[in-house]
Structure 1
Amino acid sequence: MTNKITIRKGQLGLLAKEGDYYQVLETGEHRLPWFNKPDVLVVNTDGSEVAAGLAEYLRRFQPEWVERYCLVADMSDNEAGALYLNGMLLEILPPSTRRLYWQADDALKLVRMDTRDVRVPTEILTAVAQPARGVAVKGHDTILTVQVPAWHAGVLKVDGVTQALLPAGLSGYWKVNHLVEAEVVDLRLQVLEVSGQEILTKDKVTLRLNLAANWRYTDVLSAFAQLSKPLEHLYRELQFALREAVGTRTLDELLEDKQVIDALVSTQVANRMAAFGIEVASLGVKDIILPGEMKTILSRLVEAEKSAQANVICRREETAATRSLLNTAKVMESNPVALRLKELETLERVAERIDKISVFGGLDQVLHGLVNIKGSHDAA
């Protein structure tokens, strides 16, 4: 007795007895023996990967099946593969890959690429960056993608060697068989903050300073060729210069001329960083923060200084007033008319405070009376 099995289009049937595959059934209807019935493994020829165990079996015992029904994807140590199905990129195969795929007529295609050329072909990079199905391409992590925006440059290092600057745009590089690093740097003027620096002055006063520096790259390749991390190096140079400027001066010197810190730090850092392709356009100390007890002492000092200045001004004004009175007395002593005018001025001031005055005996009597009143009042 027999039974039937139907293999549909896009399928293969593998017959096996006791684990050994001995025949391939292609599309159509097939009769199988009823007794001692073989095992049938139905696979889809849709470009899917052949299971690892079966792949090794076929390679060893049925190489003609491999040649007829499979796509062999054996990559050398310096090869990467791009696997396409119906024109769409499915997967990036890294070097030394060893796989079999069920062939799907002519829809499955493998493109081999030499990874000794570190740059990824443009069409591969485009397919990885913009996958047709909206799903990330399998194996995309074998590619380093670098996006450089406008007003920026890309610094690429391959196996520790700095390459030419990358222009604005998208580029990709093989991460397999290479140590690839990329950094995008801004070519415009930038700000670096150096905050919270606690430094002892020459007279042992602790100051807390905040500094800001405006800087830019003048030669990016020179900076990255000489320094592994240019920005960190600039930060340390600013720290060192700030400590040197503050640590060699007393608090009084710093408070008397606050711009001295800016000038010294700017000159020192600009000279040191110029050789590394970095320009320090300007810098300045934003804040100088004193400890609490020092603030109290300085407040008292300023108060005492201002009080002393006020006393000096008062004494100067008193001296000037006394000198003026003395000069007036000398003038009146030698000039009776001036004395008479002074008497009239005094009478006018007195009259301003009195509602009504009756005068008997003339102006001389009034003045004489005022003098007598003044004398009596002083005696009392």
Structure 2
Amino acid sequence: MNGTLIGIGIAALVLLFIIGNAVKIVPEYERGVIFRLGRVQAAKGPGLFLIIPIVDRMVRVDLRIQTADVPPQEIITSDNVTVRVDAVTYFQVLDPVRSVIAIEDYRVATSKIAQTTLRSILGQRSLDDLLMKREEINQQLARVIDDLTNPWGVKVSLVEVRDVSLPETMRRAMARQAEAERDRRARVIHSLGEKEAARNLGDAAGILEEHPAAMQLRTLGSMVDAAAQPGSTVAFPVPMELIRLFRPDAGPDRP
């Protein structure tokens, strides 16, 4: 009796083991690549399915977009400036079977490819390109890396250069250049302002020359403003036309 119970218990454990290894549940964002006796069968999922224990082996593959940080790389630009650049790569598995059988570890391989491509592409660019054409460089990097990872069933959707570190001497030189450029622009703006003021002054002088009465009114207004200050003495210039009115011979012309 005891032997029968022990046998039933062992059979139940074996059955549970077989069922536990035969039933597989794969979430929506994964696929299970099935190998049967070493030969690849297909990618299954999502959901619940059965495999043959011991005979079948399943490798899970994540289909979500993944990221790989590219460690900082020392790069010499085309104009012989040493910079330190790091980046991040966004990629996604489109073919689960190829990502398993074509490459040992597609994550590590994608990161290594990104490093070598980063050094190669940026080494052909000048420092000004690295600073001013970041978007263009990102697109070129993504295109080149994607061509290399495509045989693995991996799609590289985006590469972003995150930081470009310059040597201290180069940063100081660029700061001096930027300051000199700001001074130059300030001088240009100041000279344009003086030129405009001189033009306006010339226009005003022409108007006053054409209208002497306006000149006298302007002078009178200035004198009134000066007289408003306490303790000020104003010398009033009398126009010659006004003096002639008070001369004895200033009457109307007689025949």
Check whether TM > 0.5. yes
Aligned pair 1:300/2:166, yes or no?
A: no
Structure number with greater Rg is 1
Could you tell me how far 1:198 is from its partner in structure 2?
Answer: 2.2
Shift of 1:275: 3.6
- Match 1:259 to one of 135, 146, 152: 135
**1:341 Cα deviation after fit:** 3.4
Cα deviation 1:57-90 (Å, max 9, x = unaligned): xxxxxxxxxxxxxxxxxxxxxxxxxxx924223x
Flag as ranges the 4+ runs of structure 1 deviating above 6 A. Answer: 143-147
Shift of 1:184: 2.1
- CA distance in 2 between counterparts of 1:184 and 1:344 reads 96
Q: Secondary structure at the match of 1:326?
A: helix
Aligned pair partner of 1:155 in 21, 33, 40:
33
3-state SS of paired residue (1:213): strand
Give distance in 2, aligned partners of 1:285 and 1:277.
24
Counterpart-to-counterpart distance in 2, 1:368 and 1:217:
94
Q: Secondary structure at the match of 2:152?
A: coil
Determine the structure 1 residue equivalent to 2:17: 124
Name the structure 2 match of 1:368. 237
State whether structure 2 residue 8 is matched by structure 1 residue 87.
yes
After TM superposition, the structure 1 = structure 2 runs for residues 2-151 of structure 1, keeping only pairs within 5 Å, are: 85-89=6-10, 123-126=16-19, 148-151=26-29
2: CA distance, partners of 1:147 / 1:198: 45
State the Cα distance separating 1:314 from its structure 2 match. Answer: 1.2
Higher normalized helix content (fraction of residues): 2
Aligned partners of 1:145 and 1:207: how far apart in 2?
53
Determine if the alignment matches structure 1 residue 339 to structure 2 residue 232: no
**Cα drift, residue 264 of structure 1:** 1.0
Residues 171 and 322 of structure 1, relative CA distance in 2, 3 Å threshold: same
Name stretches of at least 5 consecutive residues in structure 1 with no aligned partner. Answer: 1-9, 11-44, 48-83, 90-108, 112-120, 130-142, 359-364, 370-380
Partner of 1:288: 164
Identity of aligned residues (%): 25
Deviation of the 1:346 alpha carbon: 2.2
Match of 1:238 in 2: 114
Which of 72, 83, 94 is residue 207 of structure 1 equivalent to?
83
Distance 1:144 1:196 in 2: 45
Shift of 1:158: 5.7
Query: CA 1:262–1:336 in 2, change beyond 3 Å: closer, same or farther?
Result: same
Shift of 1:240: 2.8
Distance 1:125 1:300, change over 3 A: farther
Structure 1 residue 258 displacement after superposition: 2.0
Residues 156, 182 of structure 1: 8 Å contact kept: yes
Structure 1 CA distance for aligned equivalents of residues 44 and 221 of structure 2? 93
What amino acid does structure 2 have at the position aligned with 1:368? P
Q: 1:335 to 1:293 in 2, by over 3 A?
A: same
Shift of 1:262: 0.8
**Inter-CA distance 148–250: structure 2 relative to 1 (3 Å threshold):** same
State whether residues 114 and 145 of structure 2, in contact with CA within 8 Å, keep that contact through their aligned partners in structure 1: yes
Q: Secondary structure at the match of 2:78?
A: coil
Cα pair 1:217 1:279 within 8 Å, conserved: yes
Deviations 1:177-207 (A, max 9, x none): x8x8754221122222223122211122222
TM-score using structure 2 length? 0.75
1-structure distance, mates of 2:221, 2:38 = 99
Quick one: structure 1 residues 161 and 207, their matched pair in 2 at CA, closer, same or farther if it must change by over 3 Å?
Answer: farther
Residue 268 of structure 1 corresponds to 144
Unaligned stretches of 5+ in structure 2? 239-255
Say whether the 8 Å CA contact 1:147–1:171 is kept in structure 2. no
CA RMSD of aligned residues (A): 3.5
**Alpha carbons of 1:273 and 1:344: their partners in 2 closer, same or farther (altered >3 Å)?**
farther
For 2:115 and 2:216, how far apart are their aligned partners in 1? 78
* Structure 1 residues 326 and 223, CA gap change in structure 2 (3 angstroms): same
Q: Is the 8 A contact 1:125 1:171 kept in 2?
A: no
SS state at 2:42 partner: coil
Out of 74, 98, 103, the residue aligned to residue 222 of structure 1 is 98
Distance 2:70 2:125 in 1: 20
Residue by residue over 1:2-28, the C-alpha shift from the partner in whole angstroms, topping out at 9 and shown as x without a partner, is xxxxxxxx9xxxxxxxxxxxxxxxxxx
**SS of 1:330's equivalent?**
helix
Q: Which amino acid aligns with 1:151?
A: Y
| Per-residue deviation, 1:144 | 11
- TM-score normalised by structure 1 residue count: 0.53
Distance in 2 separating the partners of 1:263 and 1:110: 59
Separation in 1, partners of 2:187, 2:22: 76
Q: In the TM superposition, what is the alpha-carbon distance from 1:248 to its structure 2 partner?
A: 0.5
